[in-house]
Structure 1
Amino acid sequence: MTSQNEDSAPIEIEAWLNSKASWLRAAAHDLITYRRMPDVTGIDALADHCLQEAAKELSQDSAPLVPGAIAGTPGRGGLRLERLFDIRGVNALGDQAHLELGEADLAVVYGPNGSGKSGYARLTKHLCGARIAGPMYGHVFLDATENPTAAVKIRAMDQKGPASQASELTWDMGKGPLPELKAIPVFDSATSVEFGDKATSATHMPRPMVFMGRLIEISDRVGANLRQRADLLVNQLPQLNADLSQSKAAATLRELLKLKAQDAAIDAACGVSDQERVERVTLEAALAQPNPSVLHTKVVKQLDQLAKHKQSALDREAATSVDQVNAIIAARADAIGKREAASTHAMAFFDKVPLRGVGEEVWRRLWVAAEAYSTASAYPDHEHPNVEEGARCVLCQQELGADAKARMLGFSEFIQNKLQADAAAAETYLNDQVKALQSVPDEQVWATVSQTIGLDVAVGESLRVAVDARTTALKVASDLADVPSVDWSVWHVAHAKRIADLELERDQLARLIDVEGRRASQERLLDLRGKEWLAANVSAIKAEVKRLTAVAKFDAAIRLTSTKTLTTKNNEIASAELAQGFCDRFNAEMGKLGGKGLPVVMKHKSQGKGRFTFCAELLAPKQRVENCEVLSEGEQRLIALAAFLADATGSDRSIPIVFDDPISSLDQRFEEAVAARIAELAESRQVIVFTHRLSLLALLQDAHEKRIGKGFKARCKVIAIGREGHQTGVPSLVNTFSLKPKPGLGQLISEMGAAKRLEPKLRQMALKDACSPFRILVERTVEVHLCANIVGRFRREIKTMGVLKKLAAIEPADCIVIDDLMSKYSAFEHSQPDETPTHLPDIDEIIADASKLRDWINDFDKRTKTAA
């Protein structure tokens, strides 16, 4: 079996699949041809194929797979990240924050603390769906609540190279990672903990495993499809009564179903004659009840209960009869008429009363309340109203004048008026008649009574609704036409039938006596009932036989979709290619990262269906301990890096790899090894490194230059970012870390020339941004030109071959030029005391200084060539 690194599937996979089911080969052909998983229609077609194969109805088997067909299936293409822009709601990253990555195979995003480097790193983890992406917030110090969004420009890669057209994707945090970027691995501190001390699963699978895994998924889906179809074949055969389970009919039924009998055989076995039906009725009447006296008593009680229900129904029917309805309507008309007469009298009496509403219901309640208060508390010894000398109103407490006393007496006379009394009496009579109407029982009680008398529950409920509607209407109706009618006949018919049935049963039980041969008669009754059951369900039995025949075909087809053999084969491939391949890559990475001597070993554990978890463990410890309890943080970080790279390089896709400060806790030796490995990775895929360490930046640049010296062509780009006010992630105007001093000075001069055309506020910002890069370019001039690049910051080696003689060209004037510029611009790179104010030079001054330094470099380089 070949390994994954050879990028080919084992030839025996095709041969092995050729020995399996035809439908499975059809699925494999589709995967190879269309390079995608089947949709719902495709699964239906495969299920049909499998079903025909199981039923031996397949017209033609699928063609065998050609050896090497799986290996020849093109893998997914690679991609590159070209631009990250239009960022909103991500930490303190501002409107100007963007990253141009298209021209870099190795992109190093450098920024000191607070520059926005971590914001970019967090955004990248969310874009790519990192294992532990962490929370995402806006600018918390500005109370920003904008939803995190960003735009990404990517370019697809294939065997011919990058695609001609790039694609732009829009990311919204609420929608999760971008599907196109989810395969991009990201290494950070959280990933380091996961890979270094926990069991993790491999992200990238060998192509044969991916292919077999897809076949397993297809098999599961086809099996589920077949099971869903089989589940639709519901058993419609009624359940045989429990007392018939041991009868001859039950045995006959089991035999018919087991043999999947033909329709003619079913008809012959399920016949019953009229004579047998009469015999069954006669036996059932005599033997159905084992204790006639007890049942007789029970039936008598039921008859008594039915009589009570009958009387209740008659009472309810009488309460809403036409005569009663007319009486209530007449009472309502009488009450309304008398109230109108009393109101007319009141209106005439109170026409001169200054306030409206006197005599109405609210006013009456007020009068009654005032009368109760007067007789109980205010004037208990006087009739209400008290109009004697000095009497006061019981409501406003003011002394009653002559007009008030006359008005109070008038009110009293109105209350005691006979018209009012007649109206009140008529209304009371009406209310009593309405209250006398019986309330309609609730739905459950009515349904119980309906069942008792043998009335269909739905019909009974319709009657209850009609009675309720008639009763409700009667409470307000003023005309007989307003009251819905009710037909009680269905209730009385059902009640009469039930009475007749029970009376007949009562008489039969009274006459019932025991006879010899009771047990034989009971057995004969069971046989007869069983035969009648079979005869009544002939159609259902035939349908069940057909269903069982169809279910047997589905069961056979479902067995063809079993994933057991696929899983076993996939496990074999996984053990040979995934598990061992992952471990081999881990060991190789440990060697490249300088950790070959660390006492760790990569272990793997099968999780079934070709899935494995991996965990780095201590090599042969004498006691059980965790890695973190023995290894240093640097050693744990190195192991995590090796495991991460073993996983990331398991795919043959050329996809980017992202690192966020990968060298934390590593010593110089390991840092250099990591930088060299990252530079090597950039030859085969895009690598993006976020860091705030100048040392790592220098190491990566040095490692890249060494590979360039060996003929490799990967492009390295350093993107320096910084802060402008509250906004972070802003790219620097001059890339002082990527460019050598002369090109950097040229770019600075060009930028300053363009800044002259800016508005004063923007011109001032451009000046501030230019001073610090210029100071760095002066420092780089000392390293690269004045000191002939013999030593470099954060670089281990000292380069002397062919360059020491260049130092002889240094003159005191050279030192003065450099010293003056270093002193002048030091305030913009290093903090200064408050008593030493810092003044910005103007644009022309910066251009002049940059031109002066560039001219000095040209002159000094000529002298160093002469000296060398």
Structure 2
Amino acid sequence: MTSQEEGSAPIEIEAWLNSKTSWLRAAAHDLITHRRMPDEAGIDALADHCLQEAAKELSQDSALLEPGAIAGTPGRAGLRLERLFDIRGVNALGDQAQLELRDADLAIVYGPNGSGKSGYARLTKHLCGARLAGPMHGHVFLGATEKPAATVEIRAIGENGPAAETSELAWDLANGPLPELKAIPVFDTVTSVEFGDNATSATHMPRSMVFMGRLIEISDRVGANLRKRADLLVKQLPQINADLSQSQAAKTLRGLLKPNVQDATIDAACSVSDQERVDRVALEAALAQANPAELHSKVVKQLEQLAKSKQSALDREGATSADQVNAIIAARAGATGKRTAASAHATAFFNKVPLKGVGEEVWRRLWAAAEAYSKASAYPDHEHPNVDEGARCVLCQQELGTDAKARMLGFSEFIQNKLQADAAAAETYVSDLVKTLPITPDEQVWATVSQAVGLDVDVGEVLRVAADARTSALKTASDVADVPSVDWSVWHVAHAKRTADLELERDQLAGLIDVEGRKASQERLLELRGKEWLAANVSAIKAEVKRLTVVARLETAIRLTATNTLTTKNNEIASAELAQGFCDRFNAEMRKLGGKGLPVVMNHKSQGKGRFTFCTELLAPKQDVHKREVLSEGEQRLIALAAFLADATGSNRSIPIVFDDPISSLDQRFEEAVAARIAELAESRQVIVFTHRLSLMALLQDAHEKRVEKGSKVRCKVIAIGREGQQTGVPSSVDTFSLKPKPGLGQLVSDMGAAKKLEPKFKQMALKDACSTFRILVERTVEIHLCANIVGRFRREIKTMGVLKKLVAIEPPDCIFIDDLMSKYSAFEHSQPDETPTHLPDPDEIIADATALRAWIDDFEKRAKSAADGKAAA
């Protein structure tokens, strides 16, 4: 273990930190380099470092800490209290109240009861945030309402010593203690009871613990920074519908909402087909039906009607199909060709006939009538025409000659010609084909059909007009190019969709007819609705996955800021350095204060996170009793002082220590030990002691002088305060307790010169104060010069070495001179009868007496030295 006063930290702290995270080492480097806690920008940078480390994206780890780096980190700067002034609203402290503490390493603030010493002590406790500082009031007897306030002048102490400039701190009760002074320990009666009776925490910690504590604080701040970043990543994904919470979609969503899920995976899991959307609509419609069985029958009939419509459409499309069109065009072309051939043959025949018109329609009817008459009446037993011998023309009934018979046979052959028959047959075939062409329905009928198959009415009308045009063209067209085309695909697509929709509805309605089927349909509907929800929110799901990925990285980084290991290490350091160090310092203080033999021991108890409480207990008592029931008040006070000093010296920072009457209930032996310890403390820090006891003041001065004799450079200053009317805390104009008589008299002469110019009221006050001061200086003259400082008031030691021989220089005129001055100036310190009032001397009279006393001191010192030297020579 290393001593806290040495300001060192165990080397293994650096080695231990080197085994931890990179960002924590970065924080340690910052503390060592900048010697202060990081600001918000620094915390942001450390949080970024931690986040990169958690994501394994650090380009380079932080450098390792060098052994002893923490030990070499300078602590906080020390300070001194230079001045306390501008005091308002604090007890009865008046306008002139102030404490001039500059140039005082050991400042003794002395004042009798009612002088304002307690007011200064209370003010100091509030300035420093002392334990149980108590309430603060103004001058209650004057009804003062001014709020307590004061100004403190301080001087910082750095590595190179005290700063050249001072700074002033304004304090008021409402704002609490001054942060710069909160580390200053204050000992008073309340503190004595607390340290003596209660378990208390250590105020100061070893440097390694302070360093670890700061790392813990930084870890908490970095963790909070990262948590704040995570909190700002607000979830934007809508909540899935309550009725879908148990669906497959909800399970799929829970499976997707994880860090690092790829977009492709999300797209695949959140897709929904057009058919599934149709199925969802149909299912919803089906489930909404009150009587699914009745609707099922209706849908079945619709499907049957659609089947008929399809066949009709197919027939209509087939009747004008490309093959049919080609057949009709080809038949018409064939019939035309055959008719042309027959006509050519007839033309050649008819050119031989004298009369025109043979072969035409009228002629053909005439021939047909003649043939019918011949078979029925004229020559029933002969084929027409009868050209036997003697046969006659059935029209003119003349006997047929040779030419006539030949002409009749020619007519018969013309009528029965094969070319004519083929042409007629071909024309009949064409006519039959045309007759098979479908009749185009009217607009209203076709609109009804279109609606039935789900075809838009306007689109259906366009199709009807096109089909009618194709049919009409086929009746006369002789070329395929003359026949317009018809696109029946729109009809078939609409019909197929309508059929599919009705088939789906039929199947879904069929499933709803029984209970199990309805349940399955409901489950299927939930599944489809869930898939549509996923598809509709796919972008939000991707955004949420990205958010979760970032949050996961942040949470990983936050885990790197956990303080568990830091706290455990801090507890180890605390146990080794803080707890044991506190106990060791207590034991050392007990020895210095003269309480080594007291049967007490300092025990400690861990409170976790490097915190310990300390309490003094009786050492191995045979009965379980409290020490207050056994030890005297003085012993308890001494133990409390030792505990307080063990705590106050736990820091190597040079800050003041304040005592308010520390030796109450102590006997002479302990008082001297306490005074010696306070004087020793003043070697390393400023010490301020408030007291109303002249004995303590004398003991402190004596302890200081002993250290000065051994080469100490500590400066001791006594500040005497008193009361002026209703105001207390007024400092004495002459430091009668610290100054030697001659310098004090010189200062008094100077003050009286200035008093001549004062107004009567203030002049009277100055004269009264001067008389009191003069009387004290006369007393000090008796002690230091007349009696050669052999015996000092409240001083235990009697000094005779080298000075006892000076007493032989005392002569009766010396005694008379001193006695006259004491009598004259005592009158202004003590009450006098009204019949013989005293009048204050004027400034010139006081100056004359002070000058006379200084002259006497010079003369007497010469005689005393001569007498001492003469006796020594003898």
1:288-303 equivalence runs, <5 A: none
Provide the residue aligned with 1:609 in structure 2: 609
Q: Which runs of 4+ in 1 moved over 6 A?
A: 288-292
Flag the 1:629–1:832 CA change in 2: closer, same or farther, 3 A: farther
Provide the residue aligned with 1:222 in structure 2: 222
Task: Tell me the SS of whatever aligns to 1:5.
Answer: coil
1:195-274 equivalence runs, <5 A: 195-241=195-241, 243-258=243-258, 260-274=260-274
Provide the residue aligned with 2:120 in structure 1: 120
Deviation per CA, 1:524-575: give whole Å up to 9, x if none: 3333233233223222222222222222211211111111111111111111
In 1, Cα distance between the equivalents of 2:767 and 2:235?
86
The code of the aligned residue for 1:202 comes to A
Deviation per CA, 1:747-781: give whole Å up to 9, x if none: 22232233223233322222111111222222222
Are 1:721 and 1:731, in contact at CA under 8 Å, matched by a contact in 2?
Answer: yes
Flag the 1:585–1:858 CA change in 2: closer, same or farther, 3 A: same
Deviation at 1:258, TM superposition (A): 4.9
Deviation at 1:516, TM superposition (A): 6.1
Deviation per CA, 1:455-489: give whole Å up to 9, x if none: xxxxxxxxxxxxxxxxxxxxxxxxxxxxxxxxxxx
In 2, Cα distance between the equivalents of 1:215 and 1:627?
39
The code of the aligned residue for 2:567 comes to T
In 1, Cα distance between the equivalents of 2:83 and 2:848?
35
Provide the residue aligned with 2:675 in structure 1: 675
1:323-338 equivalence runs, <5 A: none
Deviation per CA, 1:307-366: give whole Å up to 9, x if none: xxxxxxxxxxxxxxxxxxxxxxxxxxxxxxxxxxxxxxxxxxxxxxxxxxxxxxxxxxxx
In 1, Cα distance between the equivalents of 2:843 and 2:232?
83
Task: Tell me the SS of whatever aligns to 2:80.
Answer: strand
In 2, Cα distance between the equivalents of 1:139 and 1:860?
48
1:357-396 equivalence runs, <5 A: none
Provide the residue aligned with 1:652 in structure 2: 652
Deviation per CA, 1:272-329: give whole Å up to 9, x if none: 233333333343444469999xxxxxxxxxxxxxxxxxxxxxxxxxxxxxxxxxxxxx
70-79 or 687-696: bigger deviation: 70-79
1:706-717 equivalence runs, <5 A: 706-717=706-717
Provide the residue aligned with 1:341 in structure 2: none
Deviation at 1:694, TM superposition (A): 0.5
Residue 800 (structure 2) pairs with residue 805 (structure 1): no
Deviation at 1:214, TM superposition (A): 0.7
Provide the residue aligned with 1:74 in structure 2: 74
The code of the aligned residue for 2:661 comes to D
Are 1:108 and 1:718, in contact at CA under 8 Å, matched by a contact in 2?
Answer: yes
Deviation at 1:704, TM superposition (A): 0.7
In 2, Cα distance between the equivalents of 1:761 and 1:237?
85
Flag the 1:854–1:556 CA change in 2: closer, same or farther, 3 A: same
Deviation at 1:732, TM superposition (A): 1.2
Provide the residue aligned with 2:853 in structure 1: 853
Q: Over the residues paired in the alignment, what is the CA RMSD in angstroms?
A: 2.3
Provide the residue aligned with 1:189 in structure 2: 189
Provide the residue aligned with 1:838 in structure 2: 838
Deviation at 1:588, TM superposition (A): 0.8
Provide the residue aligned with 2:757 in structure 1: 757
Residue 767 (structure 2) pairs with residue 767 (structure 1): yes
Provide the residue aligned with 1:550 in structure 2: 550
The code of the aligned residue for 2:769 comes to D
Provide the residue aligned with 2:336 in structure 1: none
In 2, Cα distance between the equivalents of 1:182 and 1:750?
40
Task: Tell me the SS of whatever aligns to 2:745.
Answer: helix
Identity of aligned residues (%): 86
Deviation at 1:654, TM superposition (A): 1.2
In 1, Cα distance between the equivalents of 2:561 and 2:606?
23
Flag the 1:238–1:725 CA change in 2: closer, same or farther, 3 A: same
TM-score scaled by length of structure 1: 0.72
Task: Tell me the SS of whatever aligns to 1:517.
Answer: helix
In 1, Cα distance between the equivalents of 2:290 and 2:741?
115
Task: Tell me the SS of whatever aligns to 2:5.
Answer: helix
Residue 780 (structure 2) pairs with residue 780 (structure 1): yes
Deviation at 1:653, TM superposition (A): 1.4
Residue 594 (structure 2) pairs with residue 594 (structure 1): yes
Are 1:600 and 1:616, in contact at CA under 8 Å, matched by a contact in 2?
Answer: yes
Residues matched between the structures, number: 650
Provide the residue aligned with 1:296 in structure 2: none
Deviation per CA, 1:769-809: give whole Å up to 9, x if none: 11112222222222222222221111112222233322222
Deviation per CA, 1:33-82: give whole Å up to 9, x if none: 11111111111111111111111111111111122211121212211111
Provide the residue aligned with 2:44 in structure 1: 44
5+ unaligned residues in a row in structure 2: which ranges?
A: 293-508, 869-874
In 2, Cα distance between the equivalents of 1:239 and 1:517?
30
The code of the aligned residue for 1:159 comes to E
Task: Tell me the SS of whatever aligns to 1:133.
Answer: coil
TM-score scaled by length of structure 2: 0.71
In 1, Cα distance between the equivalents of 2:633 and 2:289?
88
5+ unaligned residues in a row in structure 1: which ranges?
A: 293-508
1:88-107 equivalence runs, <5 A: 88-107=88-107
Flag the 1:213–1:812 CA change in 2: closer, same or farther, 3 A: same
Task: Tell me the SS of whatever aligns to 1:782.
Answer: helix
The code of the aligned residue for 1:109 comes to V
Deviation at 1:814, TM superposition (A): 2.3
In 1, Cα distance between the equivalents of 2:290 and 2:237?
31
The code of the aligned residue for 2:819 comes to D
Residue 7 (structure 2) pairs with residue 3 (structure 1): no
In 2, Cα distance between the equivalents of 1:161 and 1:785?
38
Flag the 1:864–1:531 CA change in 2: closer, same or farther, 3 A: same
Provide the residue aligned with 2:793 in structure 1: 793
Residue 773 (structure 2) pairs with residue 745 (structure 1): no
Flag the 1:626–1:534 CA change in 2: closer, same or farther, 3 A: same
Provide the residue aligned with 1:618 in structure 2: 618
Deviation at 1:181, TM superposition (A): 1.8
Deviation at 1:260, TM superposition (A): 4.5
The code of the aligned residue for 2:197 comes to D
1:553-564 equivalence runs, <5 A: 553-564=553-564
Provide the residue aligned with 2:729 in structure 1: 729
In 1, Cα distance between the equivalents of 2:154 and 2:113?
28
Deviation at 1:105, TM superposition (A): 0.9
Deviation per CA, 1:186-234: give whole Å up to 9, x if none: 1112221222211222222211111111111111111111111122233
Task: Tell me the SS of whatever aligns to 1:140.
Answer: coil
Are 2:11 and 2:68, in contact at CA under 8 Å, matched by a contact in 1?
Answer: yes
The code of the aligned residue for 1:135 comes to P
Name the larger-Rg structure.
2
Flag the 1:289–1:658 CA change in 2: closer, same or farther, 3 A: farther
In 1, Cα distance between the equivalents of 2:254 and 2:745?
98
The code of the aligned residue for 2:808 comes to A
Are 2:698 and 2:793, in contact at CA under 8 Å, matched by a contact in 1?
Answer: yes
Deviation per CA, 1:103-127: give whole Å up to 9, x if none: 1111111111111111211222222
Are 2:4 and 2:651, in contact at CA under 8 Å, matched by a contact in 1?
Answer: no
Provide the residue aligned with 2:815 in structure 1: 815
Are 2:98 and 2:731, in contact at CA under 8 Å, matched by a contact in 1?
Answer: yes
In 2, Cα distance between the equivalents of 1:779 and 1:259?
89
In 1, Cα distance between the equivalents of 2:606 and 2:48?
34
Task: Tell me the SS of whatever aligns to 1:23.
Answer: helix
In 1, Cα distance between the equivalents of 2:630 and 2:843?
58
Flag the 1:809–1:290 CA change in 2: closer, same or farther, 3 A: farther
Provide the residue aligned with 1:439 in structure 2: none
Deviation at 1:245, TM superposition (A): 4.4
1:678-689 equivalence runs, <5 A: 678-689=678-689
In 2, Cα distance between the equivalents of 1:699 and 1:590?
19
Task: Tell me the SS of whatever aligns to 1:254.
Answer: helix
Flag the 1:233–1:259 CA change in 2: closer, same or farther, 3 A: closer
In 2, Cα distance between the equivalents of 1:636 and 1:810?
47
Flag the 1:524–1:16 CA change in 2: closer, same or farther, 3 A: same
Task: Tell me the SS of whatever aligns to 2:252.
Answer: helix
Flag the 1:695–1:277 CA change in 2: closer, same or farther, 3 A: same
In 2, Cα distance between the equivalents of 1:147 and 1:673?
40
Are 1:775 and 1:828, in contact at CA under 8 Å, matched by a contact in 2?
Answer: no
Are 1:3 and 1:576, in contact at CA under 8 Å, matched by a contact in 2?
Answer: no
Provide the residue aligned with 1:629 in structure 2: 629
Are 2:258 and 2:548, in contact at CA under 8 Å, matched by a contact in 1?
Answer: no
The code of the aligned residue for 1:570 comes to N
Deviation per CA, 1:385-426: give whole Å up to 9, x if none: xxxxxxxxxxxxxxxxxxxxxxxxxxxxxxxxxxxxxxxxxx
Provide the residue aligned with 2:472 in structure 1: none
Task: Tell me the SS of whatever aligns to 1:82.
Answer: strand
In 2, Cα distance between the equivalents of 1:275 and 1:109?
98
